[in-house]
Amino acid sequence: MTDQYAVIGNPIGFSKSPFIHSSFAAATDQDIDYTKIEGPLGQFAETVDAFRASGGLGLNITAPFKLDAYAYATEHSERAKLAGAANAMKFEGEHVIAENFDGVGLVRDVTHNLQVALKGKHVLMLGAGGAARGALLPFLAEEPALLVIANRTRYKADELAQIGAAKGRVQACHYLDLAGQRFDVVFNATSASLRAELPPVPAEVFAEACLAYELAYGKGLTPFLRLAQNAGAPQLADGVGMLAEQAAEAFAWWRGVRPGTAIVIRALTVPLA
């Protein structure tokens, strides 16, 4: 019997996950059927119950259900606990295990695909929401010289900095405090680009050889990336590689084999112009 997996979200029509996981299955000779489920708002648990009853073995979770998935699970990884959210689940009998691969997928894209080391670097993360929480531990595991978390609401950045303090050198600040500071890598983990807006970050934060990374994908040259380009940042990237890498982590977690991502990334890449 073909094993059943899916992605759940609302809306879900935009999702590239069926293409990604079908490509992975073909490349690794795995017999799976991967679909997408548009879950009715307020009915996450009922929808997942039905999927499990039909034989479903695992789910990817996208907006707005990552918190619902965390609450639904019976077991949680350390990454999921820190993020307070899950982007993948697998079902083993009565056990529902929650994971969050967003951060590890992001780091894999930066260090492996883009060949940019974070070790010893000064790293800036804009935003302190779910995406930033998921990235915190994977970032600090790379041993940057300093990780600065900047957020419009300072106390949220402070909370993340306190969580990460035992793992590395991490500081919190408001956007206004960034004046005069320069960073080797700058990540936009805010939702501003989804609204075609620019987070209030000064152009001087981009060091001479800076990588500017937009976690959103498929948006082309977002206001954040345009700011970085105009400031002279030589390397720009969006989150398509992160999307593929976190999917590969989930696939390996489910199937025991990690697929390559290069073909998928090439197929999904939108020119930054």
Query: Could you tell me where in the chain the CATH 3.40.50.720 domains are found?
Result: 103-238
Does 213 carry a binding-site annotation?
no
Catalytic residue among 66, 81, 90, 167: 66
pTM: 0.94
Task: Indicate the fold that domain 3-100+242-268 takes in CATH.
Answer: Rossmann fold (3.40.50)
Q: Determine whether the annotation assigns residue 191 to a binding site.
A: no
80 labeled part of a ligand binding site: no
CATH assignment of 103-238, among 3.40.50.150, 3.90.550.10, 3.40.50.720, 3.40.720.10: 3.40.50.720
Q: Is 42 annotated as a binding residue?
A: no
Query: Where are the alpha helices (H) located in the chain, listed in sequence order?
Result: 17-28, 44-53, 66-72, 78-83, 102-108, 130-141, 154-164, 223-230, 240-255, 262-268
Torsion (CA) 39, 42, 45, 47 in degrees, nearest 10: -30
113: phi then psi, degrees, rounded to nearest 5: -75, -45
Find how far residue 105's CA is from the centre of its chain.
Answer: 6
- Enter the tokens of residue 219: 């948006």
Which pair of tokens denotes residue 248? 């590969």
How do the pLDDT tens digits run along the chain, 273 residues long? 899 999 999 999 999 999 999 999 999 999 999 999 999 999 999 999 999 999 999 999 998 999 999 999 999 998 899 888 899 999 999 999 999 999 999 999 999 999 999 999 999 999 998 889 889 999 999 999 999 999 999 999 999 999 999 999 999 999 999 999 999 999 999 988 888 899 999 999 999 999 999 999 989 999 999 999 999 999 999 999 999 999 999 999 999 999 999 999 999 998 887
Is 56 annotated in a binding site? The answer is: no
Is 130 one of the annotated binding-site residues?
yes
Cα(11)–Cα(271) distance, integer angstroms: 25
Among residues 24, 89, 91, the alpha carbon closest in space to that of 248 is found at 24
- Which pair of structure tokens corresponds to residue 106? 């992001």
- Has 66 been annotated as catalytic? yes
Amino acid at 191: S
CA distance 243 to 234: 22
**Quick check: 182 and 207 in contact, CB under 8 A?**
yes
Distance of CA 74 to the CA centre of its chain: 22
Give span(s): CATH 3.40.50.10860, the chain. Answer: 3-100+242-268
